[in-house]
Amino acid sequence: MSNLLKSWITSANSADTDFPLNNLPYGVFSIGDSDAHCGVAIGDMILDVTAAEEAGVLTPADVPVFDVPFWNDFMELGAEAWAAFRADLTAALAEGSEKQAALEPHLVAQSGATLHMPVAVSEYTDFYAGMQHAKNMGSIMRGSPDLPANWLHIPIGYNGRASTVVVSGTDIHRPLGQTKAPDTEMPSFGPCKRLDIELEMGAIVGTGSTMGQPISVDQADAMIFGYVLLNDWSARDIQGWEYQPLGPFQGKAFGTTISPWIVTAAALEDFRTATPPREKELLPYLAENKPGLYDINLEVTMQPKDAAKATTITRTNYSRMYYSAAQQLCHHAVCGCEMNAGDLLGSGTISGPTKDEFGSLLELSWAGREPFTLDTGETRSFIEDGDTLTLKGHAQGDGYRIGFGECRGTILPAVKNPFE
Amino acid sequence: MSNLLKSWITSANSADTDFPLNNLPYGVFSIGDSDAHCGVAIGDMILDVTAAEEAGVLTPADVPVFDVPFWNDFMELGAEAWAAFRADLTAALAEGSEKQAALEPHLVAQSGATLHMPVAVSEYTDFYAGMQHAKNMGSIMRGSPDLPANWLHIPIGYNGRASTVVVSGTDIHRPLGQTKAPDTEMPSFGPCKRLDIELEMGAIVGTGSTMGQPISVDQADAMIFGYVLLNDWSARDIQGWEYQPLGPFQGKAFGTTISPWIVTAAALEDFRTATPPREKELLPYLAENKPGLYDINLEVTMQPKDAAKATTITRTNYSRMYYSAAQQLCHHAVCGCEMNAGDLLGSGTISGPTKDEFGSLLELSWAGREPFTLDTGETRSFIEDGDTLTLKGHAQGDGYRIGFGECRGTILPAVKNPFE
């Protein structure tokens, strides 16, 4: 395990910052009305790497890769270039660096910056790799905690909607949709009544695979560029009525929020941890040769519109998952499905074994049968208009942390139903 | 109903051509090693609109839209520009046109051209809107022809994989994947044994919607740029083991083939036909104000590797569907899901009421229990290596046809299993 690396940017040298020199996560930001630039978070500052590249101070490739407001072009350079650039950045931002004077003009304060999507999402896939969550969903939706027959053999996933993946801070309208109560003959149309979150990690694919060619878990692991926090907003009533037989669709398509900083796999390397023991042996193509999960502490807070402070409603850890992102990516490509830079893989909802670790309101309120109480005294089963939900996460090092920043969204009232 | 419109390109004036002046479908082509250009099929020729735009002969916008090898930039100009360009093209290619001399240098023979994807697919969604197919699938997969409870209320769809949508003529490897026989305890990994097609139409979204804002069926109809034939290759054994509870994934992700020419909604206008009578009343948001389907004759042929000729294995019509593409697109966006130019919507498998109209081999062979016989005397239940499957389609006018060209793919053997 490394120690805190010291930077000439002194705010990066605190044990509490999300963004010490050990982290160096990648994002996209703008100041006022200026163009969005690629940036690296360091302490309470952002290093404008678009400007630094233009000035010739940091040049990861022979051609510009930061002249676009997303990290896809950089990702496509491949893992060797990722490592070289990270090494350059680490040296340039370290205490005593000769580049300090050249980089200082390209630092901006995070407090004055607007953060944007760090990646142009090619396609979005969501998985279902948390065992406790799968058991809870079985109990709630199908009346039995028994896992689906394939669950211990397949990292089950489904394709989601990339067009509505948004960055932290983006408000989301309560969705309209079709639902049916168990005791009615006909469905109805209107605002979702059971609006929920799902606490997930998102893995960002950095280099692609070739159509028709499977990849191994090790190859998949090397293709993953980094991770973000991911909130898979879910309309449980819409989902419950639509999902048989072809899976979730409109219940998930209205929005997915990610944290603004891509924390690289390199920054998380010291925090690798193995998946839990197998309950049934996996087929060889899915076997894990090195620890594929990471020890990342996660929490979710909920804050009603007029509340003075947020209440922490759950705390868990990414290491609770049964399948790693590398196993998921391997399975995703194994039939010959081409994967591309910018593909986003949601881990599936992360729920630990006890109620205080559950990763969705559906589980925390047991489908509304056991509402929970916020610090303000209000109770909740699902999200009400004006509620802000925030995911946070960090890996805890010795005297430093690798933080993800926030993954935050506020739910706005449904738009007027245009069909009434 | 219009009559055949006469062109100075005489091969376009035949009753048998797929591409009379009434059609004018949009594609992308290249000759030899040259760059791919946008083109319009007319008789046995292609009008190179990239070259014509560069020469100033056809200029749909103030900025170039055909300097990229797909029609997305043109689509984003919107419906008024689509209509204006179609009117210009129709006049320019009509008998007696003053533009004949200016356009002649930009014509190339289809026989010498390689066709490419006409559109950069943003996201791909597949629906399940054929009633006979849904009943057949219920009978075969779940033991009952009863429709799912939601089927008569929702145009059921699921998100598919855009990265493996390929143009007609692209060979597809038999996929590897995980399957489980009913009588074994453990699943196994290897080449798919039940490889299938699905006969579908694909609708191409030409203009987008805004995240958070629903759209009506009429708005959706106006957003659809055109249609292609679509073969949703399906690995039935992989699909059968994986699809509960979150829907098809790897069983569908290895390839989807489309025909190379986008037949515009404008070209199909005369062939509109209403969806069949409702068995249950739809919610108002899905109501159809004008006929949303089209009378398009469809057929599928199958040709083993060494066979002298192909056998027609099914003939049906797009008008068999229960939901239109406009209804599907409306439902897709109704929760606030942003739709974008280049989104591709598969209709779902088109199966008519009798066996000679079934749109998949699973249905034609009733899951292998009733193999069918080809003209060569060979029998088939599913696809064998080397088989070529071809979809064809056209709307039949009075003395002319609006044809789609071919949607063809040959199945290659599985790649070597790298996990053995």
| Active-site annotation holds for B106 | no
Please state, rounded to an integer, the average pLDDT across all residues of chain A.
97
**Binary contact (B159, A160; C-beta < 8 A):** yes
Whether B313 is in a domain gets the answer yes
- Cβ contacts below 8 Å, chain A against chain B, sum to 215
Task: Spot the catalytic one: B37, B106, B116, B133.
Answer: B133
**Binary contact (A163, B213; C-beta < 8 A):** no
Which residue, B93, B116, B139, sits at the end of a domain?
B116
Mutate: best of B139, B142, B159, partner A, most A CBs <10 A: B159
The domain that holds B19 is classified in CATH as 2.30.30.230
Q: Which residues of A373-397 are buried (b: 16+ CB within 10 A; e: fewer)?
A: ebeeebebbbbeeebbbbbbbbbeb
> Among B216, B246, B340, whose Cβ lies nearest the Cβ of A418?
B216
Contacts of residue A394, defined as CB under 8 A and 6 or more positions apart, other chains included, come to A18, A296, A297, A401, A402, A403, A404
- Please report residues of A whose CB lies closer than 8 A to that of B150: 180, 187, 241-242, 244
User: Do both B42 and B130 map to the same domain?
Assistant: no
User: Do both B81 and B145 map to the same domain?
Assistant: no
**Binary contact (B246, A247; C-beta < 8 A):** yes
Res A1 pLDDT > 80: no
A290-314 pLDDT tens trace:
999 999 999 999 999 999 999 999 9
User: Do both A105 and A195 map to the same domain?
Assistant: no
- What's the confidence (pLDDT) of residue B1? 62
Res A2 pLDDT > 90: no
The domain that holds A248 is classified in CATH as 3.90.850.10
Contact B402, B268 (CB under 8 A): yes
Whether A4 is in a domain gets the answer no
Whether B1 is in a domain gets the answer no
Whether A246 is in a domain gets the answer yes
Shortest Cα distance, chain A CAs vs residue B44, angstroms: 32
Residues of A known to be catalytic:
133
Give the pLDDT band (50/70/90) at residue A141: confident
**Binary contact (B337, A177; C-beta < 8 A):** no
- What's the confidence (pLDDT) of residue A161? 98
Give the pLDDT band (50/70/90) at residue A363: very high
Q: Name the stretches of chain B with pLDDT < 50.
A: none
Which residue, B116, B145, B173, sits at the end of a domain?
B116
Q: How far apart are CA A359 and CA A316, in angstroms?
A: 8
**Binary contact (B214, A158; C-beta < 8 A):** no
- 3-state SS, A202-263, equals EEEECCCCCCCCCCCHHHHHHHEEEEEEEECCEEHHHHHHHCCCCCCCCCCCCCEEECCCEE
Q: How far apart are CA A162 and CA A159, in angstroms?
A: 9
> Among B153, B235, B241, whose Cβ lies nearest the Cβ of A335?
B235
User: Do both B250 and B137 map to the same domain?
Assistant: yes
Torsion of Cα atoms, B103 then B104 then B110 then B111, to 10°: -170
CA nearest A280 in B: which residue?
A: B186
Q: How far apart are CA B401 and CA B20, in angstroms?
A: 7
ipTM for this model: 0.97
CA nearest B329 in A: which residue?
A: A250
Q: How far apart are CA B91 and CA B270, in angstroms?
A: 19
A160-217 pLDDT tens trace:
999 999 999 999 999 999 999 999 999 999 999 999 999 999 999 999 999 999 999 9
Adjacent-strand bridge partners of A79: none
- Please report residues of A whose CB lies closer than 8 A to that of B242: 150, 154, 156
- Please report residues of B whose CB lies closer than 8 A to that of A334: 176-178, 250
User: Do both A328 and A268 map to the same domain?
Assistant: yes
What average pLDDT does the segment A75-96 reach? 98
Q: How far apart are CA A312 and CA A296, in angstroms?
A: 17
Domain hosting B106: range is 10-116
* Token pair belonging to B404: 């789609």
Amino acid of residue B115 = L
B17-70 pLDDT tens trace:
999 999 999 999 999 999 999 999 999 999 999 999 999 999 999 999 999 999
Q: How far apart are CA A46 and CA A72, in angstroms?
A: 19
User: Do both A177 and A49 map to the same domain?
Assistant: no
> What are the DSSP calls for B4-72, one per residue?
PPPBSSGGGGSTT-S--TTT--EEEEE-TTSPPEEEEEETTEEEEHHHHHHTTS--SSSS-SSSSSSSH
Whether B367 is in a domain gets the answer yes
Total count of domains within chain A: 2
Contact A22, A1 (CB under 8 A): no
- What's the confidence (pLDDT) of residue B141? 81
User: Do both B45 and B68 map to the same domain?
Assistant: yes
Mutate: best of A121, A126, A133, A163, partner B, most B CBs <10 A: A163
**Binary contact (B334, A177; C-beta < 8 A):** yes
Which residue, B116, B148, B182, sits at the end of a domain?
B116
Whether B175 is in a domain gets the answer yes
- What's the confidence (pLDDT) of residue A292? 97
A332-357 pLDDT tens trace:
999 999 999 999 999 999 999 999 99
What average pLDDT does the segment A22-36 reach? 98
Share of chain A above pLDDT 70, in %: 100
User: Do both B145 and B92 map to the same domain?
Assistant: no
- What's the confidence (pLDDT) of residue A237? 97
User: Do both B143 and B74 map to the same domain?
Assistant: no
User: Do both A31 and A134 map to the same domain?
Assistant: no
Whether B203 is in a domain gets the answer yes
Whether B376 is in a domain gets the answer yes
User: Do both B64 and B142 map to the same domain?
Assistant: no
Decide: helix, strand or coil at residue B391: strand
- Please report residues of A whose CB lies closer than 8 A to that of B247: 158, 243, 245-248
What average pLDDT does the segment A142-152 reach? 94
User: Do both A97 and A206 map to the same domain?
Assistant: no
